[in-house]
Amino acid sequence: MPTSTYDIIVLGVGSMGAATCWQLTRKYPRKRVLGLEQFDIPNTRASHGGGSRVIRLAYFEHPDYVALLRRAYENWEALRQQSGQQVLHLTGGLYLGRPDCDLVAGSIQAAQLHGLPHEVIERRDLARRFPQFHVPDDAIGFYEAGSGLVLPELTVGTCARLALENGAELHAHEPAHAWEADGGGVKVTTAHGVYEAERLVITAGPWAAKLLGDLQLELTVTRQVLAWFWPKRPELFSMGALPCWGVDLGTTDGHEGVLYGFPMWDGSPSNPGLKAALHQPGEPCDPDDAQPGARPGDEAPVRDALSRRLPDAAGPLLALRTCFYTNSPDGHFIIDRHPRFDSVTLACGFSGHGFKFVSVIGEALADLAAAGDTPHPIGFLNLKRFQRV
């Protein structure tokens, strides 16, 4: 088999991998970079399909997420300037629920702690300003003007284009069958050859546990359903009238988790209509076995929750699509060096909330691979927190 040599190989050119390739070629232009992707770049079979992702700053789960997000916003702007593509659109973000639910209480806490501009909207004002929502009498709202949406397929495609223009080599439809590392570097084997490099970055999304079998990562891949509806009153749900939104469903009316969605928007390259989904882990699956596409029964849970909380939105169904979450045991990302191989960096377990961070995670991974360290605060996402040995 032919052998080719690079400085850094990125295994998996999806969300994090494409951004890593872009950041590597942007910050470390002398490095010879190879990206290997098993499907298209971008593709609809992994975790970056579906047309839109929420971005918000008031993260409460750990204080360092906010520091990462501040850098992410800067990098999203750098991506716009370098590519001419607008992948981030500010729409504002509205989160509704009882005052003590994580979504609302946590967002308020994070906004206060980090001095983030925000509004707390009392129940009576909610009804006036956002008549689209039917929420319990004791619900309140948290509004963040800096929230919005990111276009995932356009992001992956744009990062890949910039990386290619900067000299990276990207191979689609070339799955990595195996990798190995020793003191001298790394080798990755595909059906087309063996690639050698000094460093390897593994950004394989739902396939991470398979490629990192020796680490016995407890990652649960789940099948997530996205639905698009044509509202009964479309004027209430278009950009301008509606921000990005999320409603805590509590546990009292038969649902758990958060119902969330996006305003309808002419500029959306995805399906027409109002997009809504449930943010809670779906059915566990093996990403190699799961059939892409919708099944009977996929619509009902989303329609049911939508009918209760945004009844005028729950008109005829326009589309159903599926996508994978890769859930870590604690819901936080895993970004670290491989414990046995210093030359290997891994990033996985983004647990359904990683896309907004793509532009900064790509930079942190590029730093780790090319410079051995990063100034960005990723220490709390270490692998050691799960390791039994």
Ligand X SMILES: Cc1cc2nc3c(=O)[nH]c(=O)nc-3n(C[C@H](O)[C@H](O)[C@H](O)COP(=O)(O)OP(=O)(O)OC[C@H]3O[C@@H](n4cnc5c(N)ncnc54)[C@H](O)[C@@H]3O)c2cc1C
Site for ligand X, rule CB under 6 A: 11-12, 14-17, 36-39, 43, 46-48, 50, 53-54, 175-176, 203-207, 211, 224, 226, 277, 323-325, 348, 350, 352-356
Closest residue to ligand X in the complex (CB): 14
Q: In the complex with ligand X, which residue's Cβ is closer, 36 or 104?
A: 36
Q: In the complex with ligand X, which residue's Cβ is closer, 132 or 328?
A: 328
φ/ψ of 321, rounded to 5, equals -140, 160
Nearest to 388 by CA among 215, 251, 170: 215
186 near 196, Cβ under 8 Å?
yes
Q: In the complex with ligand X, which residue's Cβ is closer, 228 or 355?
A: 355
Min separation Cβ 386 and ligand X, Å? 17
Min separation Cβ 97 and ligand X, Å? 17
278 near 259, Cβ under 8 Å?
yes
Q: In the complex with ligand X, which residue's Cβ is closer, 53 or 114?
A: 53
Q: In the complex with ligand X, which residue's Cβ is closer, 133 or 245?
A: 245
Nearest to 171 by CA among 4, 352, 340: 4
φ/ψ of 319, rounded to 5, equals -160, 150
Amino acid at 337: R
Min separation Cβ 135 and ligand X, Å? 20
Min separation Cβ 115 and ligand X, Å? 22
Instruction: Provide CB contacts within 8 A for 251, sequence distance 6+.
Output: none
Q: In the complex with ligand X, which residue's Cβ is closer, 245 or 350?
A: 350
Min separation Cβ 347 and ligand X, Å? 7
Min separation Cβ 4 and ligand X, Å? 16
